[in-house]
């Protein structure tokens, strides 16, 4: 079957000139043909994500059109505005895919609101809500290497699409021929007909106003003299992040020159992920040269932000997503209580794989901590539940350990713009009282104990990867370890049993050990990886690290 499909693509007149030469080049390569055509990219709650190229198992304009036709079929059953918002980042062909999606939607009689230039995930979530759209599309592969692109689909609430809606869209996609099944109208024709319109300045300004409203201490940054190095990692964060920082009075901002302009090849960091040292290396070198107080970097679709803080000896320390999440939670709670802006019965949310230190900090300030499944849409779902009761202002903060943060209910996905603003405000405040982010983190560890949270990933590429990952999870369920590194397992929580967890079913296992350490195992939702999350606690970092290393050594044979 896959050979026939390959031949069909090879003999079709394709309107992306990059695809035909690639198809020709693999004519005699059986494995390459099989890899591109034996399966199709699957559409799920995270949309599509794959390597750019020709074939049903690649990201290309035909797969995007097919997915958008499936989405259009679903939208047409939804009533409402019959409108879809579209944004895109700096990745290769992101602008082409965004315009292609607009063409398919317009041809189906669906209104489109598309950004004139690249804008990040939070801007897409905001526009979807602002224009009361049925859905939103964000063309991005987040922090994947340059050879990837993707297509995130959002529901009318600005959250990534629900399982139920994604299932309907996927069924419609499967009914749509990938080469010829999508309706199509030229972009210009769609504009002339009034079906395709650009997102207007009032929407963009409303987003910026919503972000600035989340300041804890308005006006502080203008007097603080904070010195900052920032890298958008050649992505979509440059314009919105610098605009917000300028608006709140942070003017001493040096942009990493090699990573300033949008560039989907990501020439200085093959893996543009702010969790990884290599992506931040140029920024750190510049921070050391400039003596900056803080260095921060946003990923290509600017929904996540990583930071490095200056220590007393002039060196810089990278902070984990868990550490920044806890620091922001502590800063927001203390600041809002001090300023009298803390709502009644405040709520914060975090994913089940994020640090339990946040539960302790929240309890200290009288804040309810809700633990949800991995994926920011579940934090968005909690905001929606509050919104239904007219209580969305109770939500003060949410975070995931993978560097995603949100303060406020104006969007329903993680937002590196508000994250960057609050991190800078926090740094400016601590600087103004003679402290620092580093010193405040040490204070938190002294108060609550030295927590350590680390993640190990095991990659399973290729067509057999998913089967191997499924086998690992099945084996861990069937033969759960009774002890790990000599430490008894006192509880196994299987999130495929919603009757036990109270949460929707998810492919996650948590092993709770005597003494409080935990090991969480789950397959990634976006990459061919099984991830193991370790939480340990010790009297100091060395003790916590030794405990983590022993657990990881014991788990390795079970996850390889």
- Residue 12 is among the residues annotated as catalytic for this protein: no
Gap between the Cα atoms of 463 and 140, Å rounded? 23
DSSP 338-358: HHT-PPSS-EEEEETTS-THH
What phi-psi label fits residue 145: left (phi over 0), alpha (psi between -120 and 50 degrees) or beta? beta
**HSE of 55, CA atoms in CB hemisphere, 13 A:** 27
Gap between the Cα atoms of 267 and 530, Å rounded? 28
CB 107 within 8 A of CB 181: no
**3-class SS of residue 504:** coil
Gap between the Cα atoms of 235 and 137, Å rounded? 17
Q: What order do you get walking across the sheet with 305-310 strand by strand?
A: 253-255, 228-231, 294-298, 305-310, 316-318
Q: Which of 470, 491, 496, 486 is nearest to 546 (CA)?
A: 486
Q: In the 3-class helix/strand/coil scheme, how is 100-155 assigned residue by residue?
A: HHHHHHHHCCCEEEECCCCCCHHHHHHHHHHCCCCEEEEECCCCCCCCEEEEEEEC
Strands in 145-232 per DSSP E: 148-154, 196-198, 228-231
Partners of 138 in beta bridges: 87, 152
Q: Which two tokens stand for residue 260?
A: 């300033």
Q: What burial class does residue 315 get, using C-beta atoms within 10 Å of its C-beta: 0-12 exposed, 13-18 middle, 19+ buried?
A: exposed
Among all chains, which residue has been given the structure tokens 């394709």? 14
Rg (CA), the chain: 24
Catalytic residue among 125, 142, 231, 436: 142
DSSP 376-417: HHHHHHHHHHHHHTT-GGGEEEEEETTTEEE-SSS-SS--HH
Gap between the Cα atoms of 370 and 337, Å rounded? 20
Q: Which of 439, 433, 148, 156 is nearest to 266 (CA)?
A: 148
Q: What residues contact 95, with CB distance under 8 A and at least 6 apart?
A: 88, 118
DSSP 284-323: HHHHHHHT-SEEEEE-TTSS-EEEEEE-TTS-EEE--HHH
Q: Which residues are catalytic?
A: 142
């Amino acid at each position: 079957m896959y050979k026939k499909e390959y031949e069909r693509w090879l003999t079709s007149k394709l309107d992306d000139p990059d695809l035909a030469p690639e198809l020709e080049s693999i004519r005699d390569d059986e494995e390459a043909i099989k890899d591109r055509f034996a399966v199709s990219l699957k559409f799920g709650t995270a949309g599509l994500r794959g390597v750019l190229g020709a074939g049903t198992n690649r990201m290309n304009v035909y797969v995007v059109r097919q997915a958008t036709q499936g989405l259009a079929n679903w939208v047409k059953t939804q009533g409402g505005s019959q409108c879809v918002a579209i944004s895109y980042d700096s990745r290769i062909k992101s602008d082409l895919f965004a315009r292609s999606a607009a063409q398919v939607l317009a041809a189906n009689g669906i209104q489109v609101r598309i950004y004139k230039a690249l804008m990040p995930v939070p801007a897409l979530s905001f526009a979807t809500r602002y224009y009361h759209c049925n859905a939103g599309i964000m063309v991005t592969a987040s922090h994947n290497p340059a050879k990837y692109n993707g297509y995130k689909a959002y529901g009318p609430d600005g959250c990534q699409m629900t399982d139920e809606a994604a299932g309907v869209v996927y069924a419609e996609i499967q009914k749509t021929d990938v080469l010829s099944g999508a309706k199509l109208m030229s972009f210009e024709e769609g504009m002339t007909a009034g079906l395709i319109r650009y997102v207007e300045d009032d929407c963009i300004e409303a987003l910026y106003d919503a972000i600035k409203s989340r300041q804890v201490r308005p006006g502080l940054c203008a007097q603080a003299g904070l010195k900052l190095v920032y890298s958008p990692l050649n992505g979509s964060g440059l314009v919105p992040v610098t605009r917000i920082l300028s608006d709140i009075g942070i003017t001493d901002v040096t942009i990493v020159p090699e990573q300033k302009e949008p560039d989907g090849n990501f020439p200085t960091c093959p893996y543009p992920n702010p969790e990884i040292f290599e992506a931040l290396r140029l920024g750190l070198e510049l921070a050391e040269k400039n003596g900056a107080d803080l260095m921060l970097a946003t990923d290509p679709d600017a929904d996540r932000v990583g930071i490095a803080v200056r220590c007393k000896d002039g060196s810089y320390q990278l902070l984990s997503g868990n550490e920044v999440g806890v620091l922001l939670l502590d800063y927001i709670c203390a600041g809002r209580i001090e300023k009298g802006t803390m709502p009644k019965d405040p709520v914060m949310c975090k994913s089940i794989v994020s640090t339990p230190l946040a539960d302790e900090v929240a309890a200290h300030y009288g804040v309810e901590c809700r633990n949800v499944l991995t994926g920011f849409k579940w934090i968005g779902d909690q905001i929606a539940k509050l919104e239904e009761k007219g209580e969305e202002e109770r939500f003060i903060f949410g975070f995931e350990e993978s560097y995603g943060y949100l303060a406020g209910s104006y969007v329903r996905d993680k937002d590196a713009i508000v994250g960057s603003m609050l991190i800078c405000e926090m740094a400016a405040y601590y600087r103004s009282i003679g402290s620092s982010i580093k010193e405040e983190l040490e204070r938190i560890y002294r108060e609550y104990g030295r927590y350590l949270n680390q993640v190990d990933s095991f990659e399973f590429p290729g067509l057999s990867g998913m089967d191997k990952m499924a086998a690992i999870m099945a084996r861990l369920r069937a033969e759960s370890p009774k002890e790990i590194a000599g430490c008894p397992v006192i509880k196994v929580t299987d999130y495929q049993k919603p009757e036990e967890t109270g949460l929707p079913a998810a492919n996650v296992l948590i092993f709770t050990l005597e003494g409080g350490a935990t090991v969480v195992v789950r397959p990634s939702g976006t990459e061919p990886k099984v991830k193991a999350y370790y939480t340990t606690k010790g009297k100091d970092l060395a003790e916590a690290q030794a405990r983590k290393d022993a657990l990881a050594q014991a788990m390795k044979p079970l996850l390889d």
